[in-house]
Structure 1
Amino acid sequence: MLASASSTVSRVGGEKCTYTECKVKQLYTTPDAEEALRKETGFYDEVPQGASDAVWSAYEAQNDPNSYADAYNSLKKFLDDALDIYKEYYYEKDIQKLRTIKKKQQMQGNIFLDTFKANQFTVRLSRDAYSSLKRFLEEKKHNLLLNIIQEHIYLDIYEGLPRTKAQIDATAGAIWGEAQHQANRSKMFYGLAREPDVQQLPWDAFDEDEAALNFQNKRRRELDKAEKVKMYRELGKKVSLSGSRLPSVCFYTVLNSHESERRVVSITLSSDSSLFALGFADGRIQILSIVPQKLRAMKNSEELQTIDKEAADVYARMLDESTASAQKTLYGHSGPVYGASFSLDRTLLLSCSEDGMIRLWSLWTWTALVVYKGHIWPVWDVKFAPHGYYFASCSHDRTARLWVTDSIRPVRIFAGHLSDVDCIEFHPNSNYLATGSSDRGIRVFDCVTGACVRTMTGHKGNPQTLVFSNDGRFLCSGGTDSDLFVWDLAHGHLLARLSGHSATITSISFSMEASILATGSLDGSVRIWDWAKLTGEISTDDVNVTHNPEVQTNSAAILKASFPTKNTSVYLVHFTRRNLLLASGVLEG
């Protein structure tokens, strides 16, 4: 309090300063100290009433709860009397939460309140609205309100007309306010390398000429020839989908897993749609094959010595047929397994757990190869990069991290979120990583520099799943607010907010040609959206950093079908290479 008073009185001089210092001495020190100050300064005369009111009232106001109530009521009356065009509504639901805090003890450990106290809350205001507010504060001499604004609020002023309530609601939501307009000014290179046109490739080219598969992206991890043939043959046979030609859906239900120890907490599918990975609450990971090919383990070292290493099918010869089974179980984690990710060639599996560990498993030996220790709190998600080798993780410690499989230390640490980082997703070109957090914000980080290049706000709940569009231009997100959000990566704007689900959206997937979008939710339904129609209605030609396009909310026109389950929460939706939609979930009760 003395420091606060000193900073206040330092702005005035002469008798006002000395008089106020004497009053502070009266309150917080002995009479001898006050007398010593008077002798040192030679000040014994009382200053006329009102001479130091401005200084002393500013100091007293900081310690008087009634002064805060009076200032708030004055500000509220000013806002109520203002023209509707200048009224910008923010976070009414969050203010209701703050009203429940009545005692000092309730403030301790309140994450929501601690965030407000430790960070400046960003509020975007038009120039006209800011001028009106500034004029009010200066005319009424609300020094207390000015101090609060300067200390706890960052006013992001923009030129142009004030926004409507709908426009504000579209971007409000994060517990730290809105994204600042300068946060999305850096250029983002979201383009992709050109892929070969599989419809134009003769199939004998796969067998005779490797040059026919001349990938332009040098970072792509080379698959063996058999994997390439399989992948492109399936892509060549895919069914074309549209708003009038919807996909077939195949649902896999996990039974007898609702008990506490046997509870399934995560479901993952390999990129070729052949393997499931189920993460259990007791730390187990179960790998299931949904194709006729069984899961086999590698032969022992003595038997491997007898194999002809020059044989074309050397990898098949290395596997022991006597160990073939439809499922395998991996043990190692000491807490619930919240996430898993298959490598592109399905020889490796990453898993993350509440124990704070990330494990790399071999799907040939069915053992853990590496344990990555970097996070100090539970790890919520882990993902391989599209081209392998790199992978990312996110945790309760509010960070996301970038790793390489051959090092036990992270090569990048992405910081900036104010709460748990709950989900992550690599951009298709592997240059960027998107993160969703319990602070209700979404960020996109550059994997090379580690810098945050996009900050997006609008979610009213925690984002739980992220996915980039196939062309890399858009980002879709879903979370506990039950809405599907579509973001423009060029400038970080929200383009669409689609409602329909009644519970948390847990998974999003694009069809192979990106004409259809599928979502799965804890409400037990799979919904199909017409992505081609949505993007066709969005005009991005005149969009820039300061001009946000109108947010599309016409969900009924975009929603094409809904497939409900009887009592199964949907954990995963996934399009196969032939555009069959696979979904999976856990039967409740």
Structure 2
Amino acid sequence: MRGNETLLDFRTSKFVLRISRDSYQLLKRHLQERQNNQIWNIIQEHLYIDIFDGMPRSKSQIDSMSGSLAGEAKREANKAKVFYGLLKEPEIEVPLDDEDEEAENEEGKPKKKKPKKDSMGSKSKKQDPNAPQQNRIPLPELKDSDKLDKIMYMKEATKRIRLGPDNLPSICFYTFLNAYQGLTAVDITDDSSLIAGGFADSTVRVWSVTPRKLRAVKSATDLSLIDKESEDVLERIMDEKTASESKILYGHNGPVYGISFSPDRNYLLSCSEDGTVRLWSLQTFTCLVCYKGHNYPVWDVQFSPHGYYFTSGGHDRVARLWATDHYQPLRMFAGHLADITCTRFHPNSNYLATGSADRTVRLWDILNGNCNRIFTGHKGPIHSLAFSPNGKFLASGATDGRVLLWDIGRGLMIEELNGHTDTIYALKFSRDGEILASGSMDNTVRLWDAVKAFDDIETDDFTAATGHVHLSENSLELQLGTYTSKSTPVIHLHFTRRNLLLAAGGCYSPF
């Protein structure tokens, strides 16, 4: 037992106990009256008493916040300033569609479509006061292809369905047949054109969701014969002989536990039990780089929303920040007491959230590597995280079947969503941030009213000193719908640019 890391953490770290001043005085007086000096010595030696002024918390509030391996987070741990606002969007002119031009010719007045501004997910051109500086961390410059993709995104946004309690999304479920205990990870590209699966047989498989088939680039000798000045050069470099609906990527020698598409859809990341992270080209469908830094299984990997950077977390309890052109990590984030099971980038790419088997969520500053937030409350290992589109809130799901919502700026838990009966492996906010979808091993997808949950904190009379808010007694009031699959656990969720919900999971069928 001397070599057990968890026990070593207990012996070297103090267990944090948050208690009101009145309760602390009563406890101290009680032990002194009973002359329990031995218990008092144990408390002083092994517990960190975090005393706050104000009203003691109710039993339900204490129950919802407890559960972490090392107790609750110290209040000072969540006081640091977090720039949770979104970065200023680059100004890109959106050309008119053919439909727009027809409308313009008919009426004689120019009409220019602009993306709808959504209350939760709108990206204003004005600088957000809570946003980090544009150059706080170096981000890659936009290429022409990125600008074209932004234009496509803005055009799709004009056709986006506005969701709400009275207008729930349609759900399209992708079932990977004959993959019982074989499908270990799923990801879908931002434009919903490709879907990839990681499997226990060490392979990564990529499918095209659209009628366009997957094609590899021609060989070097064939490329030398192409006229590089032609307008359709991008089409000519693709080899029609390689066209197929799916591709298999071989390279790992252990189950693939996490995969992530790059924002520009040119690359795919995968991580495995073999302790490596691999970067795959979706032009040639070959492995470009094998990143070695973790000595143990890597449970999750994710690309930054702006590309170039990516993060990984695994059994070694350390999250790593990488750049695609560096074979060594740029940052290492250490502090968790157990495996890091999931990682997520903040929408502004300046922060990283990690969920762990020590039942805590931590928010790290990518610029300096500091831990700015520690969220405690889950009763089991955390397996899913999701940031709201406006960057203000974070949702987490765990083996305890609960979804917890956190206010990043204030460092508080604001809601506890109960309803699932098994591990929650997938969380996703709709594009406008109005609905939160959760997917679980209990074969259900549940939809929650995120707007109502977040509006409550704006009006809630909470005390910042105690670090807690009044959680609603019945979270089922926030539940908008439950959708059950026949026998497929939900391991991934994705909202398309028009707010259609895609869900995915593996199913074993003997027939």
Choose which of 266, 286, 301 in structure 2 pairs with 1:367: 286
Moved more, 235-244 or 131-140: 131-140
Percent pairwise identity: 49
Number of the residue aligned with 2:320: 401
Within the candidate set 245, 270, 273, 1:354 is matched to: 273
**Counterpart position of 1:572:** 492
Code of the residue aligned with 1:166 in structure 2: it is S
* Residues 321-365 of structure 1 deviation map (CA, whole Å, 9 limit, x = unaligned): 111100000111010000011111111111100000001111111
- Give the letter for the 1:515 counterpart: E
Which among 279, 286, 292 is matched to residue 211 of structure 2? 292
Deviation at 1:195, TM superposition (A): 4.1
Deviation at 1:228, TM superposition (A): 3.0
Aligned to 2:424: 505
2:442 to 504, 520, 523: 523
- Choose which of 388, 393, 418 in structure 2 pairs with 1:469: 388
The alpha-carbon deviation at position 546 of structure 1 amounts to: 3.5
Preserved contact between residue 221 and residue 387 of structure 1 (Cα < 8 Å): no
Match of 2:356 in 1: 437
**Equivalent-residue separation in structure 1 for 2:442 and 2:52 (angstroms):** 40
The structural deviation recorded for 1:504 is: 0.8
Q: Over residues 200-249 of structure 1, what are the superposed CA-to-partner deviations in whole Å (9 max), with x where a residue is unaligned?
A: 95626999xxxx99988673652515423322222221111111011111
Alpha carbons 2:161, 2:499 under 8 Å: kept: yes
Question: Residue 52 of structure 2 contacts residue 465 of structure 2 at CA under 8 Å; is this kept in 1?
Answer: no
Equivalent residue for 2:118? none
- State yes or no: 1:244 paired with 2:178: no
User: Aligned letter for 1:222?
Assistant: L
Alignment of 1:173-322 (within 5 A): 173-195=67-89, 203=96, 219=139, 221-223=141-143, 224=145, 225-258=147-180, 263-322=182-241
Report the more deviating stretch, 294-303 or 552-561.
552-561
SS in 2 for 1:538: helix
Using the alignment, how far apart are the partners of 1:447 and 1:462 within structure 2? 24
1:554 maps to 474
Paired residues, number: 475
**How far apart in 2 are the matches of 1:571 and 1:243?**
24
- SS of match in other structure, 2:41: helix
Coordinate RMSD, CA, aligned: 2.5
Is the CA contact (8 Å cut-off) linking 2:54 and 2:465 kept in structure 1?
Answer: no
Aligned pairs for 1:472-487 (under 5 A) are 472-487=391-406
- What code does the residue aligned with 1:403 have? W
Counterparts in 2 of 1:516 and 1:469: CA distance versus 1, 3 Å = same
List runs of 5+ in structure 2 lacking aligned partners.
102-113, 116-123, 128-133
Counterpart Cα distance in 1 of 2:89 and 2:284: 34
Q: Secondary structure at the match of 2:243?
A: strand
One-letter identity of the residue aligned with 1:149: I
Q: Does 1:539 align with 2:438?
A: no
Taking the aligned partners of 1:547 and 1:175, their CA distance within structure 2 comes to 19
Helix, strand or coil for the counterpart of 1:298?
Answer: coil
Could you tell me which of 147, 155, 158 is aligned with 2:52? 158
Q: Deviations over 1:66-104 (max 9, x none)?
A: xxxxxxxxxxxxxxxxxxxxxxxxxxxxxxxxxxxxxxx
Paired position in structure 1 for 2:130 = none
- The aligned runs of 1:3-42 (5 Å cut-off) are none
Letter in structure 1 aligned against 2:355: G
| Equivalent residue number for residue 20 of structure 1 | none
Provide the rounded CA distance (Å) in 1 between the counterparts of 2:318 and 2:459: 32
Name the SS for the 1:481 alignment partner.
Answer: coil
TM-score between both structures, scaled by the size of structure 2: 0.88
Q: Is the 8 A contact 1:530 1:558 kept in 2?
A: yes
The letter of the residue matching 1:537 is D
- Decide which moves more: 338-347 or 541-550: 541-550
Task: State the partner residue of 2:344.
Answer: 425
SS for the counterpart of 1:123 is strand
Q: Deviations over 1:497-554 (max 9, x none)?
A: 0111111111111111111111111110111112222222332676535442212343
Corresponding residue number in structure 1 for 2:506: 586
Q: Secondary structure at the match of 2:216?
A: strand
Is contact 1:540-1:549 (8 Å) kept? Answer: no
Deviates further, 579-588 or 130-139: 130-139
Q: What is the distance in 1 between the residues matched to 2:321 and 2:5?
A: 27
Amino acid at match of 1:177: G
Amino acid at match of 2:448: W
Whether the 8 Å contact between 1:283 and 1:331 is mirrored in structure 2 is: yes
Alignment deviations for residues 256-299 of structure 1 (CA, whole Å, 9 cap, x no partner) = 112x6xx1111111111111111111210011111111111111
Q: Secondary structure at the match of 1:319?
A: coil
* Structure 2 residue identity aligned to 1:349: L
> Which amino acid letter does the alignment assign opposite residue 151 of structure 2?
V
**Pairing 1:340–2:296 present:** no
Query: SS of 1:131's equivalent?
Result: helix
SS, match of residue 325 in structure 1: coil
Equivalent residues in 2 for 1:56-135, closer than 5 Å: 113-135=7-29
Q: How far apart are 1:114 and its partner, in Å?
A: 4.7
1:379-418 aligned at under 5 Å gives the runs: 379-418=298-337
Contact 2:343/2:353, CA 8 A, preserved across alignment: yes
What is the TM-score normalised by the length of structure 1? 0.76
Asked whether the equivalents of residues 520 and 571 of structure 1 are also in contact (C-alpha less than 8 Å), the reply is yes
Q: Match of 1:147, SS?
A: helix
Partners of 2:162 and 2:11 in 1: CA distance? 53
- In 2, the alpha carbon distance for the partners of 1:452 and 1:253 equals 38
**Paired AA for residue 383 in structure 1:** Q
